[in-house]
Structure 1
Amino acid sequence: MTLTRRTLLRRTAALGGAAAAASLFSPALVRAQTPVRMVLNWRYQGPQAWFFLAQDRGYFADAGIEMIIDQGNGSGAAVGAVASGSYDVGFGDVNALIQLAATKPEEAPICVYQMYNKPPFTVGVMADSGIETAKDLEGKVLGGAANDGALKLWPAFVKLAGIDDSGVEITNFAPNLREQMLKGRQVDGVFGYVNTIRFSAKLSGMDPDKEIRFINYGDYGMDLYSNGMIVPKKMAQEQPELVAGMVAAINKGIADTLADMDAGIDAVAEREPLINKAIEKERLIATLQDEMNHPEIATVGLGDVDTARFDTAIGIVVDANGLPRTPDRSEIFTDAFLPPMSERITKLL
């Protein structure tokens, strides 16, 4: 399915001409409240601030959406939750979406707002472990949550980094045990996103800058995108006004968070009062810097992709995982629902 702004305008013209077209690109005009269930990539933390600001400030309501936001169990799991129909919207890993589209295209949702444009995937190891490069992971015991995005990309990383994984043992455990398992040396390395591991370790009393070394996938040629807003293709086709309104609301929430990060962290704390606000603000800033601040946003804007880079990323995932087909970019991502470039972020920090 290829959805373009021109296609949507043709559809809205058929439904009522200029008024319908206006409602598509002015979500505030949509008044009926439609319940929409969103699953996040992880628990309520600093980098979820924009979703809650958008909710608290009425941006979803202005778009006719009654948004229900649930904590998640991993970026890969969010894709599966939308594909299965358990959730209407997910904040999930586009690489898991590529793998699903390559194997089960009829089930695959579509990304409508690409938020993380730099690869956050890593294996965290203890700095004094002697593990300094990807090859040093050979023969080691590694662990992570079953739906962790970095773990799902491990086969691709193995191929690109030239790792002999025949002697690697991988164990699964609950996400909240990751840093404890690493600190206790029950595993040699843990899968995750750099800033998830870094700040969770900090909350556990570790000094991640001194005690943890990160074997980053991006350092070995995996120049991938990551998390974005994912919806079922049926929703994109049948409820374009709702999808455009949701995207516009989230885009506003990000702008508001950039303007007042403390307000964003306060919004997270309303849902999770036990958070450490100072550390969650650090996590938020690090996410903006390390996962969302690719130079391409100066030209394409946050939410969109560089088409050549995105096509290359699809090829990396397909080739490294030995997938049966290469999905077209239009099966994975559409820019049809993005706000105008003038309303999107082109500089984060």
Structure 2
Amino acid sequence: MRRVTRTFAVAALATALAVVAGCSSDEPEETNNAASNGETVKVTYLTSFGNFGRDAYGWVALEKGFFREAGFDVEIQKGAGTGGNITSIVSGKADYTPIDLTGGLLTFGKGTKDFTAVAAIQQRTMAAIASTSDKNIKTPKDLEGKTLADTPGSVVRNLFPTYAKLANIDYTKVKWQNGEAATLIQTLANGQVDGIGQFVVGRPTIAAVTKKEPTFLPYSDYLTDLYGNVLITSTKNAKEKPEEVKRFTQALIKGLEYSLANPAEAAQILKAKDPTANPQAAQAELELMGSFVRSAGSGEKIGTIDTARVAKSIAILQGAGQLTAPIKPEEIISVDLLPKV
């Protein structure tokens, strides 16, 4: 009789624990290891572009243990912009990275299709042309006859013809030269170019490096429906390891939310990981980025992507002649893996 009673008690306890676990959340558990045997999964994550404040959330997720809690051993490397990051994902050199969604669409349209978006980082594009007040670039028309610099795969550079068409300027009168992520702002500071491709949140960093008043021409003035950065992985990874992808996404977004809520701490974490980072500028970038990550008034959860909006972006690019082949949003976005509203 004692053995039966004990067996019943153990079974009842197991059932109770199962019920509690099942009712706790509809989302994947954040603290479960990604590997079923308890070992961590090694992955490589690229920042979007160098190590600026806008990318501090990846380092925060690492330092705060969010990746480890989700079962990942993450190596973070500096990203080289949308084009270079996509190449690293497709070639298998990296597992996850943020890219600008519009840049991703342009790359996809040219035939590189072995990547997929699994979450939004920014709900609005932050792409812009940045300069300093002494260059007198106040309107898009002022760009004609000027020399700009950016990395070859940058979304700012690749989207420029569409921006120029909508802003009614002749993009053939604007000269572009190649630059590197790590030295791009210094190129502007040295007076080697009139402007650079940059995100609007880069204002504090540009001010700190150039010692001048930054000026910006945001692409969002003319391209209102475009998303900013999205998290991507390989199509193969998304198909074969969907739950693992969800857990990684959840951990990264947790780092993003923490960074926006604690920008000063996030900036110091970035500085500890990269001594060349400017913590004051990094903090200011994160403070500016908050309004781009949270879609104002929509009530949407951080990370969500609206395929209807993506369809509008595709239509804009097609209308400008930068996309010739038809693309459906679901071809470049893994809808089933997106954070749920």
Q: Same fold (TM over 0.5)?
A: yes
The residue matched to 1:122 in structure 2 has which SS? strand
The residue matched to 1:230 in structure 2 has which SS? strand
Aligned partner of 2:185 among 172, 179, 188: 179
The residue matched to 2:135 in structure 1 has which SS? coil
Report the counterpart of residue 29 of structure 1 in structure 2.
32
1:207 aligns with 2:216: no
Structure 1: runs of 5+ lacking an equivalent: 1-17, 342-349
The runs of at least 4 consecutive aligned structure 1 residues that moved more than 4 Å come to none
For 2:153 and 2:110, the matched residues in 1 are separated by: 17
- Rg bigger for which structure? 2
For 1:340 and 1:224, the matched residues in 2 are separated by: 20
Q: How far apart are residue 340 of structure 1 and its match?
A: 4.4
Against the structure 1 CA distance between its residues 255 and 131, is the aligned structure 2 distance closer, same or farther, given a 3 Å change threshold?
Answer: closer
How many residues align structurally? 315
Superposition pairs for residues 137-156 of structure 1, below 5 Å?
137-156=143-162
Against the structure 1 CA distance between its residues 266 and 141, is the aligned structure 2 distance closer, same or farther, given a 3 Å change threshold?
Answer: closer
Against the structure 1 CA distance between its residues 80 and 156, is the aligned structure 2 distance closer, same or farther, given a 3 Å change threshold?
Answer: farther
The residue matched to 2:304 in structure 1 has which SS? coil
Instruction: Please say which of residues 184-193 and 90-99 is displaced more in the overlay.
Output: 184-193
Question: Taking structure 1 as the reference length, what is the TM-score of the superposition?
Answer: 0.82
Contact 1:300 1:306 in 2 (8 A): no
The residue matched to 1:278 in structure 2 has which SS? helix
Contact 1:60 1:66 in 2 (8 A): yes
Superposition pairs for residues 161-176 of structure 1, below 5 Å?
161-176=167-182
Q: What per-residue deviation string (whole Å, max 9, x for no partner) do you get for residues 191-248 of structure 1?
A: 221222x23322225233xxx3212211123531121110111111100111011011
Higher RCO (C-alpha under 8 Å, 6+ residues apart): 1
Question: Taking structure 2 as the reference length, what is the TM-score of the superposition?
Answer: 0.84
For 1:233 and 1:144, the matched residues in 2 are separated by: 28
Against the structure 1 CA distance between its residues 56 and 322, is the aligned structure 2 distance closer, same or farther, given a 3 Å change threshold?
Answer: closer
Report the counterpart of residue 277 of structure 1 in structure 2.
279
For 1:57 and 1:310, the matched residues in 2 are separated by: 33
Report the counterpart of residue 319 of structure 2 in structure 1.
319
Contact 1:149 1:192 in 2 (8 A): no
For 1:222 and 1:255, the matched residues in 2 are separated by: 24
Against the structure 1 CA distance between its residues 25 and 309, is the aligned structure 2 distance closer, same or farther, given a 3 Å change threshold?
Answer: same
For 1:259 and 1:216, the matched residues in 2 are separated by: 25
Report the counterpart of residue 223 of structure 1 in structure 2.
225
Quick one: percent identity of the two aligned structures? 26
Aligned partner of 1:268 among 267, 270, 275: 270
Report the counterpart of residue 295 of structure 1 in structure 2.
296
Against the structure 1 CA distance between its residues 158 and 205, is the aligned structure 2 distance closer, same or farther, given a 3 Å change threshold?
Answer: closer
Instruction: Please say which of residues 184-193 and 35-44 is displaced more in the overlay.
Output: 184-193
For 1:292 and 1:29, the matched residues in 2 are separated by: 26
For 2:122 and 2:307, the matched residues in 1 are separated by: 15
Contact 1:144 1:172 in 2 (8 A): yes
Aligned partner of 1:67 among 57, 64, 74: 74
